Structure 1
Amino acid sequence: MRYSPLLTDLYELTMVAGYFEHAMHEVPAVFDLFYRHNPYRGGYAVFAGLEPALQYLEELRFNDEELSYLQGLNLFPARFLSYLEAFRFRGKVTAPAEGSVVFGNEPLLTVEGGLAEAQFVETALLNIINFQTLVATKAARINYAARGSAVLEFGLRRAHGPDGGLSEARAAFIGGVRSTSNVLAGMKYGIPVKGTHAHSWIMAFPDELTAFRNYAQVFPEHCILLVDTYDTLKSGIPNAITIARELREKGYELFGVRLDSGDLAYLSIKSREMFDAAGFPEVKILASNEIDEFVIDSIREEGSRIDIYGVGTRLATCAGEGGGALGGVYKLVRIGQNPKLKVTSDIAKATLPDRKKVLRAVDPHGNFVQDVIALEGEPIAPGDVVFDPANPLQRVRLPHDVRLVDTRTVVMDRGERCQPAPTLEESADHAARELNLLPEGSLRFVNPHIYKVSVSSGLNRLRLRLMEEVKRHLLATP
């Protein structure tokens, strides 16, 4: 799918036009894309959206229709529109691999290039990375709550538009929800597609048993029956057991039933008892209906016998406290030879200037200990003192027994990808491995372990120096 360059905020175009008019458009610039707080008040995020973002950058160009529209706005001079005819992204992008575990204040994407091209891509990159990272994180939380039970993505009908449905299915797969009801996502991304039938199927026939029987006749090898249209325990499960017997007589087995309302924990326990007593212990019990990580956690504590969770609305809309939007931002950190930072009265919100690297301290067993954000060329070693980015007076010493691993690589240079895109399954496997390496308690939903992200001494000094320079400038201004 082509992303139009008009998928942007107007101010990106007005700024680029201004840079062009002042002959600043080719001045080298560096921008960081990052977020400040982990979503859902959790202990981490799962980075997603990189491949669509690189596709957008690789294919970025204005066609005749788009240029004609801009001309019709009567806002931009003809010479600027002529400049846009040959506009391309020819810059450099540094990023973690998709599926990487990431944390607040760390640069996710670093975009380098001429000021115009690096500025212009801000809105589209934030649109792609913010949403997919939020979905992948939500999916990882749901998958963790399921504790090994399968999770299906059912969110298309509640997703934020058609593209939102596709992006959500893709990102959810990276986060660990590895099947979808979205057939287009199945075709486009190779995600396994799963599904049952709706209540309307049951209601279209004279009675529930007839509806079950007709569905099983068409799909004997993949039969999952929705059992709560009338009464789950008095009608749905007994009729499903009848169909299970009829299928077995024909050489098939009923795959499962779906619960979509009521007390899911209680109904799953009773359904399991009834199927087991009837001689069908292998029939799977699938549950849906406004499920998220907290619901799954709760019903598991009540002893539920659910084998598969169908998660829709709350995954597709990223619902939950601290969810809704990732809050990623895109900030200028260097222009020409000058490092830059955005200063506020709250030092925790002051940006981190200049080109940087993100190093991960890994213990001898391969587990993650903490991250350090350092200047690009700054030497960092185990045992060095590092600083709290929100409070420079707080410092800790890196353990002596760790090794430091750069979490990011150059993924695009001169507007071209540096390596083949990984498969979606490879990105999902990467996420699963990284989540398992987090410190104990990081995956908790309530009061998770706070993974430490520090800044190096060199970066800390540079930020403090630039902040002092800004203060002196303000004091000297009449």
Structure 2
Amino acid sequence: MGIESPLLTDLYQLTMMQAYLDHGMQDTAAFEFFVRRLPNERNVLVAAGLEQVIEYLQELHFSSEELAYLGSTGFFHERFLEYLQGLRFTGDVDAMAEGTLFFADEPIIRITAPLPLAQLVETRIINLLQFQTMIASKALRMQLAAPEKLLVDFGLRRSHGAEAGLLAARAGYIAGLHGTATVLAGMRFDIPIYGTMAHSYIQAHQSEQDAFRNFANSHPDNVVLLIDTYDTLQGIQRVIELAPALAKQGIAVKGVRIDSGDLALLSKQVRRALDDSGLDKVKIMASNSLDEYALRQLEQQNAPIDGYGIGTRLITSSDAPYLDCAYKMVEYKGQGKRKKSASKTTWPGRKQVYRYYDEDGFMQTDTLDLDTESQSGKPLLAPVMRQGKVVEQQPELTEIRDYVSKQISTMPKDMLALDKSTAYPVCVAENLQRLAAQVDQEIV
């Protein structure tokens, strides 16, 4: 039993399901996932994780072992367990395409299914969409801070679990990172993989130069040498001394990596030493607790760094480690539903998001409206599954990546900054406001 199990959910999803079943509440319901408020540090979010949601829904079923466990808990009766035995996802899914830029209150996915089924999938859908959207949105900021540089995910070892590390590599690549150090992500998602050596490799040798030489002989096409294990400036001198001998063997030093210290100062000193030695084609990589703010500072200092390895602060989205998101019922038995709790009010009804652009092709405003209405803007949600069957195949990651890039070119310039800009306008159509007022009158 792995993480694909339907038991990877909250107990109350199952207790509610039994109560629904006991009282004949199996009519069609619609739930939408959205982010209530953008984190203070974000101007925009990147929708990510839809492919994993689809896979989860397609594979949804209860095994005999899982049903036996549920029976042993004492919470559930036999009729409910028999219902679960044949349960499959038979509902509809409408969603924004992965990689879509979106804002607060905009649904990025809608699940329409019999109420017990639509309820069951809540926890895992939030789990999948919240995390990848959070990481993709963080990675986008890295790309905006250093758009011309090689950016590589180094975060697996600091991730909150194996699945998080794997999916973070995927989300980061969608948003503009160029690759990952996570090998399984390379196999599973066809993401370029990067990596050479750690400090332990250097330490295992009697001398730094022996370590460099041995690695170059073992990996002649991937010679990127870590030069700060002992002293960065001594390390680069040893690279310079070794390079001619390697060149005679037909081996070129492709790059060096700095993982500590004043990266701006050290990279300038290393660049000067390399250039003075005729090694001007050798690239400089840097790592060490980097985030978008550190990248911006290094770029402003004109640090001659060609690429960055980004780990802890990406994989944990350190400045905004969660999204204030929700998966809420918006319709049941054809009637609009909404939540009215203080600071958590929701809009009722199945909704569509329409995007409008100005005459220069820049994003201008979004409008929330009921999906039964039609507007002249570009609709962002489209059918993905109908009656449990996929009707829209998901694009390749490279296509999603290109889609994100094209959208960035249409964003208002102030929203491309790392600092908070004026909120992007999301309007609520009169149709939706009228439905909300009607639902409020019907609440008892």
Shorter-chain-normalised TM-score: which range? over 0.9
> In structure 1, how many angstroms separate the alpha carbons of the residues matched to 2:277 and 2:76?
75
Answer yes or no: is 1:443 the counterpart of 2:440: no
One-letter code aligned to 1:250: Q
> In structure 1, how many angstroms separate the alpha carbons of the residues matched to 2:383 and 2:337?
22
1:87 match: 87
> In structure 2, how many angstroms separate the alpha carbons of the residues matched to 1:130 and 1:150?
26
1:16 match: 17
1:40 is displaced (CA, Å) by 5.2
Deviation by residue 1:427-449 (Cα, 9 ceiling, x = unmatched): 11111111221111112111224
Deviation by residue 1:405-457 (Cα, 9 ceiling, x = unmatched): 00110111101111222111111111111122111111211122421111101
3-state SS, counterpart of residue 380 of structure 1: coil
Contact residue 186 and residue 192 of structure 2 kept, 8 A: yes
Unaligned runs of 5+ in 1: 382-403, 474-478
Deviation by residue 1:34-81 (Cα, 9 ceiling, x = unmatched): 011223521100110000000000110001111111111121000100
2:438 match: 465
3-state SS, counterpart of residue 406 of structure 2: helix
> In structure 2, how many angstroms separate the alpha carbons of the residues matched to 1:271 and 1:468?
70
Contact residue 42 and residue 443 of structure 1 kept, 8 A: no
Contact residue 367 and residue 427 of structure 2 kept, 8 A: yes
1:337 is displaced (CA, Å) by 2.2
Contact residue 35 and residue 324 of structure 2 kept, 8 A: yes
Deviation by residue 1:337-370 (Cα, 9 ceiling, x = unmatched): 2111101244xx3101001110000233332111
1:239 match: 238
Answer yes or no: is 1:261 the counterpart of 2:260: yes
RMSD, aligned α-carbons: 1.3
1:2 is displaced (CA, Å) by 6.8
One-letter code aligned to 1:78: E
Instruction: Between 306-315 and 362-371, report the one with greater CA deviation.
Output: 362-371
Instruction: Between 28-37 and 124-133, report the one with greater CA deviation.
Output: 28-37
One-letter code aligned to 1:458: N
2:285 match: 286
1:351 match: 346
Contact residue 39 and residue 45 of structure 1 kept, 8 A: no
> In structure 1, how many angstroms separate the alpha carbons of the residues matched to 2:421 and 2:273?
39
2:158 match: 158
1:93 is displaced (CA, Å) by 0.8
Contact residue 353 and residue 369 of structure 2 kept, 8 A: yes
1:334 match: 331
TM-score (norm 1): 0.90
2:273 match: 274
Answer yes or no: is 1:361 the counterpart of 2:361: no
TM-score (norm 2): 0.97
> In structure 2, how many angstroms separate the alpha carbons of the residues matched to 1:460 and 1:148?
44
Contact residue 150 and residue 309 of structure 1 kept, 8 A: yes
1:276 is displaced (CA, Å) by 0.5
Contact residue 145 and residue 418 of structure 2 kept, 8 A: no
Contact residue 384 and residue 393 of structure 2 kept, 8 A: no
1:461 is displaced (CA, Å) by 2.0
Deviation by residue 1:230-264 (Cα, 9 ceiling, x = unmatched): 1101x111011122222222223211000000000
Contact residue 34 and residue 325 of structure 2 kept, 8 A: yes
Contact residue 257 and residue 283 of structure 1 kept, 8 A: yes
Contact residue 440 and residue 449 of structure 1 kept, 8 A: no
> In structure 2, how many angstroms separate the alpha carbons of the residues matched to 1:266 and 1:468?
65
| 1:130-169 superposed matches below 5 A | 130-169=130-169
> In structure 1, how many angstroms separate the alpha carbons of the residues matched to 2:105 and 2:396?
28
Matched-pair identity in %: 41
2:385 match: 412
> In structure 1, how many angstroms separate the alpha carbons of the residues matched to 2:245 and 2:378?
59
Contact residue 383 and residue 392 of structure 2 kept, 8 A: no
3-state SS, counterpart of residue 415 of structure 2: coil
3-state SS, counterpart of residue 110 of structure 2: strand
1:469 is displaced (CA, Å) by 4.6
> In structure 2, how many angstroms separate the alpha carbons of the residues matched to 1:148 and 1:448?
23
Contact residue 384 and residue 390 of structure 2 kept, 8 A: yes
Contact residue 216 and residue 251 of structure 2 kept, 8 A: no
Instruction: Between 121-130 and 426-435, report the one with greater CA deviation.
Output: 426-435
> In structure 2, how many angstroms separate the alpha carbons of the residues matched to 1:88 and 1:141?
39
1:399 match: none
> In structure 1, how many angstroms separate the alpha carbons of the residues matched to 2:417 and 2:427?
22
1:103 is displaced (CA, Å) by 0.8
3-state SS, counterpart of residue 432 of structure 1: helix
1:301 match: 300
> In structure 1, how many angstroms separate the alpha carbons of the residues matched to 2:250 and 2:316?
41
